Structure formats: structure tokens, C-alpha cells
């Protein structure tokens, strides 16, 4: 990645994060930054798909896992602290 590509990825991250914040939308700067870097990698045909696939899988698994775990903890707390 050259400096111009890095600048483009950082600028895209800054614009998307700022726009989402302005509109009150929740956004992860890490996810946006990784997406911007992936966009540069796809454009230059240098994306490392063996690295991208586990990251995407982690994003898909994280949300439902957190929901289930928090529900279990909440229900467990209701049993001990009614």
C-alpha cells in the first residue's frame, strides 16, 4: 500500500464515521477502517482473502453470540436477584 492509498482509506473511514455519528447511527471505526482497507485491496487486486474470510466470519458470529450471552447472564441474574 502506498501513502496515497492509505490516505484514501483513512479519509473514507473518517467521512463514514463522522457521517454516521452526525446522524446518530452506531458504527464501529474498526469495522469501517477494515472495510476501507479491503476496498483498497480489492481495487489493487492485492486483497489477502485468506485473512479476510476469518475477519468476516468473526463479524457474523460476534453479534448473535453477544446477544445470547447477555440474555443468559440477564436471566441468570434474575434467578439469583429477583
Collapsed DSSP state (helix, strand, coil) of residue 13: helix
Cα–Cα–Cα angle for 57, 63, 61, rounded to 5 degrees: 25
Q: Which three cell numbers stand for residue 73?
A: 447472564
Q: Which three cell numbers stand for residue 46?
A: 492485492
Q: pTM for this one?
A: 0.74
CA distance 48 to 33: 16
User: Each residue of 7-23: pLDDT tens digit?
Assistant: 999 999 999 999 999 99
User: Each residue of 39-81: pLDDT tens digit?
Assistant: 999 999 999 999 999 999 998 999 899 999 999 999 888 777 7
Amino acid at each position: 500500500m502506498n501513502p496515497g492509498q492509505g490516505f484514501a482509506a483513512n479519509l473514507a473511514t473518517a467521512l463514514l464515521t463522522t457521517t454516521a455519528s452526525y446522524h446518530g447511527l452506531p458504527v464501529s471505526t474498526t469495522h469501517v477502517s477494515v472495510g476501507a482497507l479491503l476496498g483498497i485491496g480489492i481495487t489493487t487486486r492485492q486483497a489477502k482473502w485468506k485473512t479476510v474470510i476469518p475477519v468476516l466470519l468473526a463479524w457474523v458470529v460476534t453479534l448473535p453470540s453477544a446477544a445470547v450471552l447477555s440474555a443468559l447472564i440477564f436471566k441468570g441474574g434474575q434467578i439469583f436477584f429477583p
